[in-house]
Amino acid sequence: MEGYVHSIESCGTVDGPGLRLVVFLQGCPMRCKYCHNPDTWELNTGRKMTIEQILQEYSKKASFYVNGGITLTGGEPLMQMEFVTELFKVCHDKGIHTCLDTSGVTFTPENTARFDELMKYTSLVMLDIKHINPVEHFELTQQKNDNILAFARYLSDKDIPVWIRHVVVPGITQNDKYLYELGEFIGTLKNVKALDVLPYHVLGVNKYESMNMDYPLKGVEPLSKDDAIKARNVIIQGIKAARKKSK
């Protein structure tokens, strides 16, 4: 089986625990205004690679990855669900820690069979919740968030370890009401092992220029680390309130 790969990073340190082989897959149905990788959006392009070829990449530095593993990201890796499932299955059989970095946008609660299969081989999900408010989510990403939140609940019900990621963007998600509501939602989940609150940055802007595309957040200043810490604290207040309510 072959997948469409955008690029591979051999020593990733932020996409899951430990040092990791990070594979960026092609294809994404979201159109996040702050996306740094618009060159991953298109499906069926990039470098065609087999599972064996990816495992060969892993083998080159396998001794580095003893406390890490492999992460599939993108783009949206679930756009190549069969390939991801097959690759994770092989990794799982070899005892390699598998991390799926996803927005969960392709999930449908009515038909979970394919997800049930994938989750058998997934050690950790990094779930990127872009916006808790449905209207704002659509405005930010051009996709609805109902199935994404359903995916979070599904993972909780299945007790799959999850790291939640959230990007704080001035004027969009840097909003105490929304941050608190996001916390309240996260507080209802039973499987969250970490909360990664990332400040918006503008490092991807050059890609838009080189691809002759308008950058949707032109003029929005990067968020400071201090403001990201403040945002994280508001989310944590929401988490605590939700947990207290459920006791």
Footprint on this chain of ligand SF4 (rule: CB under 6 A): 28, 30-32, 35, 37, 40, 74-76, 103
Return the number of the residue (65 or 107) whose C-beta is nearest ligand SF4: 107
Return the number of the residue (37 or 237) whose C-beta is nearest ligand SF4: 37
CB of 229 to ligand SF4, least distance (A): 22
C-alpha–C-alpha distance, residues 111 and 44, integer Å: 24
Distances in Å between the alpha carbon of 136 and those of 64, 133, 242, 247? 41, 5, 22, 31
CB of 160 to ligand SF4, least distance (A): 20
C-alpha–C-alpha distance, residues 204 and 38, integer Å: 9
Return the number of the residue (75 or 199) whose C-beta is nearest ligand SF4: 75
Q: 86-97: b or e for each residue (b if 16 or more CB lie within 10 Å)?
A: bbbbbbeeeebb
Return the number of the residue (31 or 193) whose C-beta is nearest ligand SF4: 31
Return the number of the residue (30 or 242) whose C-beta is nearest ligand SF4: 30
**Residue 245: which H helix or E strand, with range?**
helix 225-246
CB of 124 to ligand SF4, least distance (A): 18
CB of 242 to ligand SF4, least distance (A): 25
Apex 77 CA angle, 73 and 78, nearest 5: 145
Return the number of the residue (106 or 174) whose C-beta is nearest ligand SF4: 106
Distances in Å between the alpha carbon of 140 and those of 33, 81, 135? 6, 24, 9
C-alpha–C-alpha distance, residues 172 and 149, integer Å: 19
CB of 30 to ligand SF4, least distance (A): 4
Strand order in the sheet with 124-128: 47-50, 2-12, 20-25, 69-73, 98-102, 124-128, 162-168, 192-199
Return the number of the residue (31 or 144) whose C-beta is nearest ligand SF4: 31
Query: Residue 193 CB: number of other CB atoms within 10 A?
Result: 10
Q: How many CA atoms lie within 13 A of 120 on its CB side?
A: 11
The candidate with the shortest Cα–Cα distance to 121, out of 151, 141, 91, 164, is 91
CB of 26 to ligand SF4, least distance (A): 10
CB of 73 to ligand SF4, least distance (A): 8
